[in-house]
């Protein structure tokens, strides 16, 4: 049965089609997500799986990236195999992946997942001669390459207390996800350093505006603890 909630979710993605009712299904049949971000390119939701709780039937209404903010042990309902997912682990699913029975949280703590679903975009009418996407480059901080495919680049950075990233650019269509949040300050060549009013919480997400390297943009960890940050760059 297709509920109104399922249809609203799929319409938000631009996926629901009367000829393809399976596209109207949510990702997790037994979980309710919290909407974190919705724009023309992505839908980002937060899911929490409590100890002993099952995700229920798992399907994929679009191309999806799972980001484990708080990891734990998930045990497959189909095979009984248990897998440890550490904080900051990512997993990619294609819209064509088969539906599964889902998994159960067999650990002692809640598991928190930020789920990024890519929205379909029309093909360009003019051939693209130069790709818009690039790896994010912090001059002062080496990044960890987590995943790359035809649609996304996923990188992870740890910004230590007192550390500046170094002057860098932000290319179009970039999403950030905080595994461990913290207190940021930023500056450019024209604007002096200014700290955010409040620290960013764990699991927080945001859509980054395009910034040219000539702006002299960089950010600084003014908190007491490391900031653990994932960047997702959309390639199309």
pLDDT(9) > 50:
no
CA–CA dist 76, 78 (Å, integer): 5
**Higher-pLDDT residue of 26, 47:** 47
CA–CA dist 134, 145 (Å, integer): 12
**Higher-pLDDT residue of 104, 121:** 104
CA–CA dist 138, 73 (Å, integer): 33
Question: What are the structural domains, with CATH classification, of the chain?
Answer: 29-118 (2.60.120.10), 144-234 (2.60.120.10)
Would you state the pLDDT for residue 12? 45
Of 8-17, 93-102, 105-114, 193-202, the range with the lowest mean pLDDT is 8-17
CA–CA dist 175, 154 (Å, integer): 10
Q: For 106-126, how does the pLDDT look when each residue is reduced to its tens digit (9 = 90+)?
A: 999 999 999 999 998 877 666
Question: Taking phi first (over 0 means left), then psi (-120 to 50 degrees means alpha), and beta for anything else, what does residue 179 get?
Answer: alpha
Q: Chain-wide mean pLDDT for the chain?
A: 89
Would you state the pLDDT for residue 2? 33
% of the chain exceeding 90 in pLDDT:
81
Q: For 132-186, how does the pLDDT look when each residue is reduced to its tens digit (9 = 90+)?
A: 678 999 999 999 999 999 999 999 999 999 999 999 999 999 999 999 999 999 9
Would you state the pLDDT for residue 31? 96
Burial of 134: CB neighbours in 10 Å, binned 0-12, 13-18, 19+: middle
Q: What is the pTM assigned to this prediction?
A: 0.87
Band of pLDDT at residue 53, cut at 50, 70 and 90: very high
Would you state the pLDDT for residue 6? 40
- Token pair for residue 111? 């598991």
Would you state the pLDDT for residue 106? 98
- Token pair for residue 59? 């399907």
pLDDT(3) > 50:
no
Three-class SS state of 132: coil
């Amino acid at each position: 049965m297709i509920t109104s909630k399922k249809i609203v979710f799929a319409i938000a993605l631009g996926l629901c089609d009367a000829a393809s009712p399976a596209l109207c299904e949510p990702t997790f049949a037994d979980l309710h997500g919290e909407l974190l971000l919705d724009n023309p390119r992505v839908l980002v939701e937060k899911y929490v799986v409590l100890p002993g709780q099952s995700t229920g039937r798992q399907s994929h209404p679009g191309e999806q990236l799972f980001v484990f903010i708080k990891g734990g042990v998930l045990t497959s309902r189909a095979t009984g195999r248990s897998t440890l997912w550490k904080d900051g682990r990512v997993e990619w699913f294609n819209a064509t992946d088969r539906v599964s029975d889902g998994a159960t949280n067999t650990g002692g703590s809640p598991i928190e997942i930020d789920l990024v679903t890519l929205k379909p975009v029309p093909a360009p009418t003019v051939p693209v001669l130069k790709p818009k996407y690039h790896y994010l480059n912090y001059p002062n901080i080496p990044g960890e390459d987590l995943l790359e495919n035809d649609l996304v680049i996923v990188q992870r950075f740890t910004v230590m207390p007192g550390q500046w990233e170094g002057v860098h650019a932000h290319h179009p269509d970039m999403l950030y996800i905080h595994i461990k949040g913290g207190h940021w300050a930023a500056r450019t060549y024209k604007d002096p350093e200014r700290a955010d009013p409040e620290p960013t919480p764990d699991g927080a997400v945001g859509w980054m505006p395009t910034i040219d390297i000539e702006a002299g943009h960089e950010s600084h960890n003014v908190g007491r603890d490391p900031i653990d940050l994932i960047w997702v760059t959309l390639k199309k």
